[in-house]
Amino acid sequence: MFEKLQQKWKVGGLQLALILCTFAIGGSLTGYAGRKLMPLLGIESNGLWILIYIILITLIWPLAVLLISIPFGQFRFFTRYLLKIGRRMGLVKGENKANNAAGVKRIAIFASGAGSNAQKIIAHFHKNRSGIAKIALIVCNNPNAGVIAIAKKENIPVLLVERDRFFEKDAYLPPLHEAGINFIVLAGFLWKIPSLLITAYPDKIVNIHPALLPNYGGKGMYGRHVHQAVIANKEKESGITIHLVDEKYDHGRIVFQTSCSIAPNETAAGLANTIQALEYKHYPETIEKLLQ
């Protein structure tokens, strides 16, 4: 049981012991305070007394555990714990109040590969003096992806997602809400976004496609597959499309496009380099404009 709690709360053995002590002492303090306060209310009816007592200790308990958590050094843990309970009860919104007050958007970058676009976006918002947004989480479906090393270097938490939970269960909404995520950026994420996430983040999921949509989009059209198709069809231009995400592949509302010409002897690899340069230049700037 204790090992499961450590995994659930992501704490060590000593911290778990301190947390459990806080729970126990906080609970005892709640009961004691409730019994002392009830006589002051002058309620005699047994049924009403029990109801009022339950309401009273429900209100006292969060204050009691926060108070006890201070000497045990667990105030931060219990602040997050209580906020999480509040979100589940619908009493607290998914993003924390400090971020709302400051107007800071908390971005999750979804990526599956090397993470070069993710690195450019991270660098952009690190340098951005307006403080409009923070890259708060990297979400990845590939434990060997290069973007994970980037996240560790930048000290950004990583959420590794598994197919079954992502598509068939809660789509990892609880950890996204716990992290206060209010905007999602797809940067080479190869899974289709499930309806549950799209519903939870309406018009707040953005993607970049390495072609001029609606051409060369759809299932299987990503990376080199797009560039090979463009070259094979002898197109005279290509480009990038930044769009909001809906339930269809490469279909949501387009928010930005720019094009580049294709030389007669261009290769798919050469076109890929040109497109990548456009992505690096325009994707971070467009994300910032969407947030504004």
Q: Which CATH superfamily is domain 203-292 in?
A: Formyl transferase, N-terminal domain (3.40.50.170)
Diameter of the chain measured on Cα atoms: 92
pTM over 0.75: no
Task: Answer whether 233's CB lies under 8 Å from 274's CB.
Answer: no
Structure confidence at residue 9 (pLDDT)? 67
Cα distances from 153 to residues 23, 122, 150, in angstroms, run 36, 11, 5
Residue 183 has pLDDT above 50, yes or no: yes
Comparing C-alpha atoms, which of 290, 258, 291 is closest to residue 274? 258
- Alpha carbons 6 and 11: distance in angstroms, whole number: 5
Q: pLDDT tens-digit profile of 34-43? A: 888 888 887 7
Q: In CATH terms, is domain 96-199 a member of 3.40.50.170? A: yes
Active site residues: 209
Residue 99 has pLDDT above 60, yes or no: no
Band (239; pLDDT cuts 50, 70, 90): very high
Q: pLDDT tens-digit profile of 131-165? A: 788 999 999 999 999 999 999 999 999 999 999 99
What ranges do the domains of the chain cover? 2-88, 96-199, 203-292
- Alpha carbons 121 and 284: distance in angstroms, whole number: 5
Amino acid (1-letter code) at residue 249: Y
Residue 90 in tokens: 């619908």
Is there a shared CATH topology between the 96-199 domain and the 203-292 domain? Answer: yes
- The secondary structure of residue 191, as a DSSP letter, is S
Residue 201 in tokens: 């983040």
